[in-house]
Amino acid sequence: MKLNHYWTSGGTFEFDPDSGEVTRIRGDEESPTNWGSVWKQRGRWFALWHDGDALVFQHGQHRWNLTPDVTLRVTGRNRRTFRVLRNGDEAFRFTYFAKWAIFSFVDPTYDALDAESDDFFLYVTAMWKHWKDRRADEFTALLQEAGSRTL
């Protein structure tokens, strides 16, 4: 499936949900075929996509449907840790440096929306918080309603 890079200017990438492999698509004519984004941090690829039934966070072959039994957390200020917990048990942990966090100290208008735009893991966590208790068909209806518009 073809997904956007999390930062829009990053282009379109081929994402294999079975293996978790990500490959850049060369050429401007390619456009995403599915809703979702890929992101590379510390040499590792991550994806947030929709499989028709739920939002899915994936790293390699490890995937988690973002449902109420899964909890996502980002802790820390400059050195952050992203955690995936399933039924209270830690299923995944990833620590990274938020180099862009300095802007939050300098820019008085820097808010949560800016932070989510800069940090893929904050964005994934916010999406989970918003959609975890909703029916999957609500998200699907939103995608269908968008039609030719890109989400």
pLDDT one-digit tens code per residue, 52-108: 888 999 999 999 998 889 999 999 988 999 999 999 999 999 999 886 666 655 666
Asked if 57 contacts 72 with a C-beta cutoff of 8 angstroms, the reply is yes
d(CA 136, CA 151) in angstroms, rounded, equals 16
**Domain segments of the chain as ranges:** 2-146
Q: pTM for the complete prediction?
A: 0.82
Asked if 35 contacts 80 with a C-beta cutoff of 8 angstroms, the reply is no
d(CA 53, CA 65) in angstroms, rounded, equals 9
How confident is the model over 117-151, as pLDDT tens digits?
678 999 999 999 988 888 878 888 887 787 644 44
